[in-house]
Structure 1
Amino acid sequence: MTAPAAAPPTRRSGWLPVGGGHVLRWWESGAPGGVPLLLLHGGPGGHSTRAHRALADPRRFRVIQVDQRGCGASRPRGELAANTTDHLVDDLERLRAHLGVEGWVVLGPSWGAVLALALAARYPRAVRALVLSGVFLGAREEYRPLLDGRGVDAAVWDRFVAPLDAAERADVPAAYARRIHDPAHPDHMTAVRNWLAFDAAQGGAAFAPSRIRAGPGLVASVAVEAHYARHRFFLPAEGVLGRAGAVAAPVTVVQGTGDTAGAASARRLCAELPHARLRWVEAGHSALEPRLAKRIRASLAGVAAAVTGGAVAR
């Protein structure tokens, strides 16, 4: 078995004020003169990790990571005001200008796929190619389990909605968000643990809120996720798919076959984008799963070779 690639150390980092009281934390690693690569994190509510840097060859890429509004090391942690999908996309364009990047390749896993596609649609000259995995489009059907329990084990759903009254069950994400966003609410921590347990149950784990120990960082992460879910990810019912037609950059989708929801979304995306290339891997959702990581790394290497050769292969 091939040993996993080593994650390169941070070469430089900094802060970027983006308005609304938000200040983003960013990092660079890899080759200063390499192909600029924007490595997005998942979520909403996730954060950048050193482990994800190993997805890109540090000899080929100038790897740029940033924690989105309210996330990770960005300030204020957990802040929800002026925090929408469009804000996040515009922040990425500000970061590109701040770092003097003419155009970059964008790696978007999971929620990062939404932002990558939206960025390429809004700022086409800034995006040279997209590599996506664990595809999420922010479409209503993808988060239907959170709305009405469709596709969820009945016992899990019953336990998840048990704290809510009949009126609140008409909009479960909003009811949970109210509890999660109010530290004084008597059900605040119960809601945080239930939300995390429900997420885990979607991946096949037992619904076990009592086992979850949620510190401030995790609570902030859940708050951001609930904020986006409550507002339907600030996207129409079809999610970012409606913007996909404006994406001219080459697109490679590296998708795990075991990620059922992501696989369906990957097919929908590639049907909308005939120039997209779909690569299947026997893996799940996480870009860090060894087989998926290996294919992502290979796809990025191919993109880098094409970019430095003067044209991006389709």
Structure 2
Amino acid sequence: MTPIHPPFETNNSGYLDVGSGHSLYWEEAGLSSGIPIVYLHGGPGSGIEDSDRQYFDPTHYRSILFDQRGSGRSTPHASLEDNTTWHLVEDMEKLRELLHVDKWIVFGGSWGSTLALAYAETHPDRCLGLVLRGIFTLQREELLWYYQSGANFLFPEYFDPYQAIIPPEERGDMMQAYYKRLTGDDKAEQLRCADAWSRWEVSTSRLIVDPAYIAKADDPKWALAFARIECHYFVNGGFMKDGQLIEDAHKIKHLPITIIQGRYDVVCPAKTSWDLYKALGGKDNPNVVYNIIGDAGHSAHEASIEKALVDAVEKLKSIGK
């Protein structure tokens, strides 16, 4: 497996007006004439980081990254207005057209895998292939496992502070209780809830709990966008029919697809990735690779996950030749 590439700078960046008051920050790096590959960040709401472009060989790929609505450097910050899965799918098309890209590889993990599937199933003719990590399809059972009951059996000491911020009489629907507060008028309460919500997630994302990674939640601006936008999507079921992305997987089974899944991923357990693999044809479909990483959890920044992601991208270098 190949390690991630050394840091490198962007070639170009800007803002794209996508309507409804939203302006998306975007950037591109690597070889301007290379194979286009678009990076979809997680959350929703987390935004991109400089290290995200290091999965892509800058001597071969033209990497394109952007902050989704309300996230990162996009404006307005933490906005929920006209912010749905399908708005983001449309935004990707507008960005593709702005940058004069005919087709691109779609790369996403966690929520990024959700958006990648939604986009590819809507626009399969614009995809060269997909690299997906920590599969999340926003089904109700996935949400309940992590935010209501399931993951707390493995991380009880981190779940308790997440639960404690909600009064006992409202704990029967934790997502709805958080949503009420994250969208309420009390700004101090918004920030308290954003901190608790975000800290629960970053505490459970790695196989080995990493205090430095948990410190991401110390940034109130990042935590507010992350918690508000996630909760907005989750209480609304991703603005799609439950199970839709698995049901529609047949639309992309002709594309080269690599699925990378941490065996001990608590945030997005392996069952969903396995269900997707089967929906894509499983072992009978030579286009699909299913790669379980035996010593990793959810985070893309665990060493074995990083290597598997870079390796998957390396294997797609023949596309377009």
Q: TM-score, normalised by structure 2?
A: 0.86
Deviation at 1:14, TM superposition (A): 1.1
Letter of the 1:111 partner, please give it.
W
Per-residue deviation at 1:227?
1.3
| Equivalent in the alignment of 1:249 | 255
Q: Deviations over 1:166-185 (max 9, x none)?
A: 66334321221121223526
Paired position in structure 1 for 2:142: 142
Give me the whole-angstrom Cα distance separating, in 1, the residues matched to 2:220 and 2:168: 30
CA contact (8 A) 1:96 1:102 kept: yes
Secondary structure of the 2:273 match is helix
What is the aligned partner in structure 2 of residue 97 from structure 1?
97
Alpha carbons of structure 1 residues 158 and 6: separation in structure 2 relative to 1, 3 Å: closer
Distance (Å, rounded) in 1 between the aligned partners of 2:97 and 2:277: 30
Pick one of 172, 187, 190 that aligns with 1:188: 190
Decide whether aligned partners of structure 1 residues 294 and 165 sit closer, same or farther in structure 2, where only a CA change above 3 A counts. Answer: closer
Structure 1 residue 8 corresponds to structure 2 residue 8: yes
Residue 236 of structure 1 aligns with an amino acid whose one-letter code is K
1:171 has 2:181 as partner: no
Residue deviations 1:127-176 (CA, integer Å, cap 9, x gap) = 11001111111122222135532341367656544444466334321221
RMSD value, Cα: 2.7
Residue 281 (structure 1) shift? 2.3
Shifted more, 193-202 versus 86-95: the winner is: 193-202
Q: 2:304 aligns with which of 291, 299, 303?
A: 291
- In structure 2, give the amino acid aligned to 1:292: I
User: Residues 168 and 186 of structure 1: is their aligned pair in 2 closer, same or farther, counting only changes over 3 Å?
Assistant: farther
User: Structure 1 residue aligned with 2:293, among 277, 281, 285?
Assistant: 281
Deviation per CA, 1:193-225: give whole Å up to 9, x if none.
22123324544759xx9x963422322222111
Cα distance per residue 1:27-85 (max 9 Å; x no partner) = 00000010000011111111111101111111110000011000001111111000001
Q: Secondary structure at the match of 2:80?
A: coil
CA contact (8 A) 1:179 1:185 kept: no
SS at match of 2:152: coil
What is the CA–CA distance in structure 2 between the aligned matches of 1:8 and 1:157, rounded to whole Å? 38
Please tell me the residue identity of whatever aligns with 1:298.
D
C-alpha contact (below 8 Å) 2:202/2:217 kept by paired residues: no
Equivalence for 1:312: none
Would the aligned equivalents of 2:135 and 2:273 in 1 still touch at CA under 8 Å?
Answer: yes
3-state SS of 2:15 partner: strand
Q: Do structure 1's residue 266 and structure 2's residue 278 form an aligned pair? A: no
Q: Which residue of 2 aligns with 1:226?
A: 231
- Show CA shifts across 1:10-34 (max 9, x none): 0001111111111111000000010
| TM norm structure 1 | 0.88
User: Quick check: 1:302 aligned with 2:315?
Assistant: yes
Give the SS at the match of 2:317: helix
| Whole-Å separation in 2 of the counterparts to 1:116 and 1:128 | 12
* Structure 2 segments unaligned to the other structure (5+ residues): none
**In the superposition, relative to structure 1, how do residues 259 and 212 fare at CA in structure 2: closer, same or farther (>3 Å)?**
closer
Call closer, same or farther: CA 1:186–1:256 in 2, change over 3 Å: closer
How many residue pairs end up in the alignment?
Answer: 307
The one-letter code sitting in structure 2 at the alignment partner of 1:104 is W
Identical residues among aligned pairs (%): 32
- Tell me the amino acid that sits aligned with residue 273 of structure 2: A
Cα deviation, 1:260-293, whole Å, max 9, x if unaligned, reads 5442221111000013211222322222222221
Structure-2 change in CA distance of 1:68 and 1:230 (3 Å):
same
- Paired amino acid for 1:224: I
Output the CA distance in 2 between the equivalents of 1:297 and 1:277.
Answer: 14
Equivalent position SS for 1:187: helix
Structure 1: runs of 5 or more not aligned: 310-314
**Which shows bigger deviation, 283-292 or 186-195?**
186-195
Check 1:222–1:8 CA distance in 2 against 1; reply closer, same or farther (3 A cut).
same
Distance 1:4 1:147 in 2: 32
